[in-house]
Amino acid sequence: MTVRVTKQEFNLREKLIELDKPIGIKGSELMKSETTQDARNFLSVGRKNMVINGAMQINQRNGSSTHTGVTDAYTLDRYKVKEATSGAVNVNRDAFPAGDNHPEGFRYALQVACSSADTSLSGTEHAVIMHMIEGYDIEGTGWGTLGAKDVTLSFWVKTTIPGTYSVSLSNGAQNKCQVKEYQAGQYGYAPGWEKIEIVFKRCIDGSWDNNTGTGIKITWGLAGGQSSYATSDLGNWKTSNLFLSSNQVNFMQNTNARFFLTGVQLEIGRNATDFEHRRYQDELALCKRYYQYMAGEIVNAINNNGARIPIPTFPVEFRAAPSYAVDSNIFTEFSSGTSRTITAFWSSTKYGGGYAQLDSTPSNGVYVNIRASADL
């Protein structure tokens, strides 16, 4: 004998709303999702952070050393610091000491230290931190089309100079930009760290690279004259190269000035979700698309031309064929220690390779210590 029991249909969402346990505003918004994809978009699940090295773990160029007198150079991987004032700055990767009240889950920050002050900024003088995101990595934003989406930038900051700071997003051509401002250092240096969350409106027009060029450039303003790069029209898209608020504080005002940045994340949507911590080896591989260093490999000259030293290929494909740099433009011979001057580099590919032309033929193999950069 079979017994069948029939129950009246009910709406699951309505029943959940009736539960005594509160689900909060975010939970309520999540429950309104019509599809699985809507829920995924709200939670920003999966690989979401367009920024590489947001936790400041990777510093291939300088390691634990300080980069002094930075004017316009990459420092920590994927971060470029430009100082174009009458002052000067040093940049290093700051390691958080045990017991420090740093943001939970982070060990390092990018530190900018003013080593020479400029108390009166004018004209085009400015100091900024920049992060260029490759075009491939911004495709999901849809920027430049009617399907464009809002994005949210979040980061942790600490500074000895309290006041109004600027941050902007722009395209690679630097003719579309949106500037926002935030307050930092308002609670004093000792309590220190503040989490900043900023929503940027979508951009439905303009030229946005979705290939190997610069897709989106993030610029953190530290200081600047008000006549060239500043605007009071905040939160709107401008057809100019602007990256400072007209209220920007002068970080360069004294040599005690310190600015720390970590936990940088740019994601699609209007919600600042938890930082996406990637494995160290994954983050390092992402950074090596833009910069790699080869140290101490002994290489013999090409058989039919003794003054040419083949450059070995690198383990990770570069964004583009890299440019090479060598300290003092010299390779040193194995065993004899004789210095051989490099006159040119030729024929590199996206994996490196090519060769170095020397001014004379070495008697032995040479040590290849070489920096390869395909940064944006």
Radius of gyration of the chain (CA): 25
Q: What local confidence, expressed as pLDDT, does residue 188 receive?
A: 73
Q: What distance in Å separates the CA atoms of residue 189 and residue 259, rounded to the nearest whole number?
A: 10
In order of their start, the domains of the chain are 12-42 (no CATH), 67-285 (2.60.120.260), 288-373 (no CATH)
> Could you report the per-residue pLDDT of 338-362, keeping only the tens digit for each?
999 999 999 889 999 999 999 999 9
State the Cα angle at 95 between 94 and 96, rounded to 5°: 115
Q: What distance in Å separates the CA atoms of residue 151 and residue 270, rounded to the nearest whole number?
A: 6
Q: Give yes or no for a contact between 244 and 178, defined as CB atoms under 8 angstroms apart.
A: no
Convert 328-364 to b/e letters by CB count within 10 Å (16 or more is b). Answer: eebbbbbeeeeebebeebeebebebbbbbebeeebee
Q: Are strands 308-310 and 258-268 parallel, antiparallel or unpaired?
A: unpaired
What confidence category does residue 37 fall into, taking pLDDT thresholds of 50, 70 and 90?
Answer: very low
DSSP code of residue 302: B
- pTM comes to 0.88
> Could you report the per-residue pLDDT of 209-257, keeping only the tens digit for each?
999 999 999 999 999 988 789 999 999 999 999 999 999 999 999 999 9
C-alpha distances out from residue 11 to 121, 207, 265, Å: 63, 46, 38
What confidence category does residue 22 fall into, taking pLDDT thresholds of 50, 70 and 90?
Answer: low
Bigger pLDDT: 223 vs 41: 223
Q: What distance in Å separates the CA atoms of residue 266 and residue 219, rounded to the nearest whole number?
A: 12
> Could you report the per-residue pLDDT of 140-159, keeping only the tens digit for each?
999 999 999 999 999 999 99
Of the candidates 243, 235, 234, the one whose C-alpha atom is nearest the C-alpha of residue 216 is 243
C-alpha distances out from residue 261 to 55, 111, 195, 216, Å: 9, 7, 10, 19
pLDDT at residue 30 tops 60: no
Q: What would the DSSP string read from start to end of 207-249?
A: ----SSSEEEEEEEEEEE-TTTSEES-TTSEESS---EETT--
Q: Is 287 helix (H, G, I), strand (E, B) or coil?
A: helix
